[in-house]
Structure 1
Amino acid sequence: SGCVIEPGVILMGVKIPDRRYVPVGSVVNTQEQADRMPEITEKYPLKDLNKGVVHVNTHLAKGYLAIKK
């Protein structure tokens, strides 16, 4: 958890370690490559991306449920 998969990435049969990111356009097809992905640091601009996505999706779901009632 806590990993970021940037746009255009292809992952094939690998697990990205926690607190790592996969740079845009990467093709990762061995676990060794996956294990070498860069760590997410405070300087990484997308470090809070997952939190933002979950926040938006949660609010969208609540809105859809409210409309359905």
Structure 2
Amino acid sequence: MEGRRCLLQKLDKMATIATKEENIDGINEFSDVIQFDIESHVFYFKNLLEGILPWPHQTLPTARMCKS
């Protein structure tokens, strides 16, 4: 939950900076620009490089080349 809250704070900050640069009034947070729900619109995908990667079977010629 902490990561989602941090993301929302960053989006709100970027929205206020953009509205100041564009001279637009009445926008104070990201959800004023676009309909956004932090609970249902944010998805987490685990880093694919973490953990043990699957290796092909040792009987395949390419597997022997990868191991050497």
Q: Which has the larger radius of gyration?
A: 2
Give me the TM-score of the superposition, normalised by structure 2.
0.32
TM-score (norm 1): 0.31
> Which has a greater percent of strand?
1
Greater RCO structure (CA 8 Å; 6+ sep): 1
Structure with greater helix share of residues: 2
